[in-house]
Amino acid sequence: MTINPDDLLALALGSLSPQEEARVRAALQQDPEALAQYRADFKALHSLPDALPLAEVPAGAEDRLMARLRAEQAGGRTADAQVPVAAPSPAPVQPTARVWPWRIGGLLALAAAAALFFVLRPAGDPLTRYAAQPGAVTQPLIGADQAQIGQVVRLADGSAYLYLTAAPPSDRVYQLWQIQGTTPVSLGVMDGQGTLVAQAPTGITLAVSVEPPGGSDQPTTTPILVQQL
């Protein structure tokens, strides 16, 4: 795997800029090992909220966690003693027995990132985050039955974020296509219900089909969406 594991974690957390997300997603399409790792990380990361008990967030917790994370990333220490420091792992964890799937530098960095995402719950899911960017324009995605099945956010840099309201069947994935003339060209398998299209000029026609895990060379089902942006 040649992709920085920190980028995989940031992508799963939704903390990358649109440009960085497009770069990492493009690299994932060329690295099957990294793509498999990312999907495993994404699934594990987003299943954690179900196991977390409800609790009131202490005042100032976000500032303290971010200060600790910055200090650890810089190789320093913080004087704030109110945040407990996790003990270092005594030995490298083997891939077959990992408790945490993300291979990043420092257990505390992972703990802080996970706490920020799951306990502090940063405002806004990816759709909301993209829609709030300057110059963003949101429009509905209309399915084959003329009902709205999602939204697309056109961004000022020429990219677009697509989000489908319903998740794919448990044994299937959404696959995104660009229609060039009458030919569908794969833009990759979507992670769950949303995906960023790095190049989405006005007039581009996109389609979404439901495919087996890993995607297909050509659509194997009638697209649930064909729309010109």
Q: pLDDT tens digits, residue range 74-86?
A: 765 444 444 444 4
Pairing of strands 194-197, 148-154: unpaired
Region 181-203: mean pLDDT is 89
The C-alpha atoms of residue 23 and residue 41 are separated, in whole angstroms, by 18
Three-class secondary structure of residue 188 per DSSP: strand
Write the DSSP symbol of residue 172. -
Integer CA distances (angstroms), 34 to 28, 39, 94, 137, in order: 6, 9, 17, 32
Rg (the chain; Cα; Å): 20
Q: Where are the alpha helices (DSSP H) in 105-226?
A: 107-118, 126-131
Task: Quickly list H helices, the chain.
Answer: 5-13, 18-28, 32-47, 61-73, 107-118, 126-131
Residue written as tokens 């190789």?
75
Q: State mean pLDDT over 41-55.
A: 59
Break the chain down into helix, strand, coil percent, rounded to 5.
Answer: 30, 20, 45
Q: Which residue has the higher pLDDT, 26 or 204?
A: 204
**Comparison of pLDDT for 197 and 11, the residue scoring more:** 197
Give helix 18-28 / helix 5-13 axis angle, nearest 10°: 120
CA distance 204 to 179: 8
What DSSP designation does 84 have?
P
Type of residue numbered 32: P
Contact yes or no for 207/179 (Cβ under 8 A): yes
Alpha carbon distance 17, 23 (integer Å): 10
Of the two residues 198 and 11, the one the predictor is more confident about is 198
User: At residue 167, does pLDDT exceed 80?
Assistant: yes
**Highest-confidence segment of 57-61, 188-192, 206-210:** 206-210
Tokens (6 digits) for 37: 């790792």
**Mean pLDDT in the chain?**
74
Do residues 223 and 144 lie in contact, with contact meaning Cβ atoms separated by under 8 Å? yes
State residue 75's pLDDT score: 63
Question: CATH 2.60.40 region(s) of the chain?
Answer: 126-228
pLDDT of residue 102 exceeding 80: no
Categorize the per-residue pLDDT at 103 as very low, low, confident or very high, splitting at 50, 70 and 90.
very low
DSSP annotation of 30 reads T
Predicted pLDDT at 174: 95
| 198 or 117, which is more confident | 198
CATH class belonging to 126-228? mainly beta
Looking at the predicted structure, is the pLDDT value of residue 211 above 80? yes
Q: Among candidates 10, 37, 13, 36, which has minimal Cα distance to 24?
A: 10
Collapsing DSSP states into helix, strand and coil, what is residue 205?
A: strand
Average pLDDT over residues 160-165: 92
pTM comes to: 0.51
